[in-house]
Amino acid sequence: MTPVNNAADNLALNIQDLVLEFGHPPEVVRALDGVTLAVPGGTILGIVGESGSGKSTIGFAAGRLMPDGVRPKSGELTLLGRSVWDIEVEDMQEIRQQELRYVFQDPIATLDPTKRIGWQVKNAVNPPLSDEDVVNSLQSVGLTDASRVAAAWPHELSGGMAQRVVIAMATVGDPKVIIADEATSALDASVITRVLELLRDQSRKRNITLLLLSHNLNAMKRFCDRIAVVYAGRVVEHGPTQEVFNAPAHPYTQALLAASAGHEKPGEMLHTIPGIPPALQGASKKCAFEPRCRFALRNSGEKSCDRTRPEQDNITEDWHILCHRWRDLQQESN
Ligand SMILES: Nc1ncnc2c1ncn2[C@@H]1O[C@H](COP(=O)(O)OP(=O)(O)O)[C@@H](O)[C@H]1O
Ligand SMILES: [Mg+2]
């Protein structure tokens, strides 16, 4: 009998109202202030927001890569159907070796400087790859001179080549989820697109769920199925890439788009968003973006942006928002 396909069963990652803090009183930093985010298997999701908004913390939480003793205060995080905080230490290590992989900003720092590239690719999985598979894997990420790359030391590679090697290592075996945290931020502009294409092609070919964490919203447009915008530890807008780019509903998404390179008209200065994201020390009691928002309503009762914490609303079935004002703003713009 075919099993009933429940939508929740097909989620690679399911985060519900996750609250996570670092430090001890009075120095507590609330990095995640109630994150809700469901990611269907095989999706390419861009998680975007300014520095300090909580992108990396979401990525680390998925693999439980937190400093010792850090545990969520509340909420749920399910990876490939298993509650991450209930997984045994050895099983979590196994998951990080097999099913969940990371690609970070600095590929040279990710690679072991004392080992040749071929050895590192070979031993990226257990059991190790054959020499032939090492060469195949390097070729699959566009490194045509694979034998030479395999014999090289990390410091002999350019940043772009090294990041290709890291992606080869992240895709060998049978990974289900890859989290690429600012994976192209340290690369030259000329190779950013190629590295993103490579990640996208690997994801499409092998049904790998890909989370692209980036402060550069513009770079995500071509590569992501969906976009989640993070501000002060909450997902403030999450929807299909087309919709979010064509008709951003949250004032923060609008401001980010206006500030991202490529969206300015020729000869026009890049807009910046005045102010900085807050460092939260507890639950935000209002809209965290209110001090910087040009549409905020203040001192105006229950739906006041400076008094009431917004809860998730649905623009469509799969487009979510945290904003008191989104309906008014849509009416005004129509
Ligand atoms: N290990 C840590 N200890 C203390 N605070 C942290 C730690 N990691 C992150 N933070 C804080 O959590 C918030 C979110 O950070 P982060 O997830 O790194 O944001 P992003 O990746 O979007 O730049 C920031 O205020 C940051 O200072
Ligand atoms: Mg980060």
Region 85-102: mean pLDDT is: 95
Q: Please indicate, yes or no, whether residues 168 and 179 belong to a single structural domain of this protein.
A: no
State the residue range of the domain holding 34: 9-99+174-333
Q: Whose CA is nearest to atom 5 of ligand 1?
A: 22
Q: Please indicate, yes or no, whether residues 227 and 254 belong to a single structural domain of this protein.
A: yes
Q: Please indicate, yes or no, whether residues 95 and 189 belong to a single structural domain of this protein.
A: yes
* Candidate of 28, 57, 105 to mutate for ligand 1, largest count of ligand atoms within 8 Å of Cβ: 57
Distance 215 CA to ligand 2 centre (A): 8
Q: Please indicate, yes or no, whether residues 241 and 292 belong to a single structural domain of this protein.
A: yes
Q: Please indicate, yes or no, whether residues 138 and 187 belong to a single structural domain of this protein.
A: no
The residue among 173, 189, 220 that closes a domain is 173
Q: Please indicate, yes or no, whether residues 190 and 148 belong to a single structural domain of this protein.
A: no
Q: Is the pLDDT of residue 203 over 60?
A: yes
Distance 145 CA to ligand 2 centre (A): 33
Number of domains in the chain: 2
**Could you tell me if residue 137 is inside a domain?**
yes
**Residue-averaged pLDDT of the chain:** 92
pLDDT score recorded for residue 270:
55
pLDDT score recorded for residue 3:
47
Q: Which atom of ligand 1 is nearest to the CA of 277?
A: 25
**Could you tell me if residue 42 is inside a domain?**
yes
pTM: 0.93
Per-residue model confidence as pLDDT tens digits over 39-71: 999 999 999 999 999 999 999 999 999 988 788
The CATH number of whichever domain residue 258 belongs to comes to 3.40.50.300
* C-alpha separations of 47 from 96, 108, 180, 216, 311 in Å: 20, 24, 10, 10, 19
Per-residue model confidence as pLDDT tens digits over 255-294: 999 888 665 555 555 567 888 889 899 999 999 999 999 9
- Among the bound ligands, the one closest to the CA of 51: 1
Question: In the chain, where does DSSP find H-type helix?
Answer: 55-62, 89-98, 107-110, 117-122, 131-140, 146-151, 159-171, 189-206, 217-220, 241-246, 251-259, 326-333
Question: Where does ligand 1 bind, in terms of residues with CB under 6 Å?
Answer: 22-23, 29, 31, 49, 51-57, 67, 279
Distance 57 CA to ligand 1 centre (A): 6
Q: Whose CA is nearest to atom 8 of ligand 1?
A: 57
The residue among 147, 173, 199 that closes a domain is 173
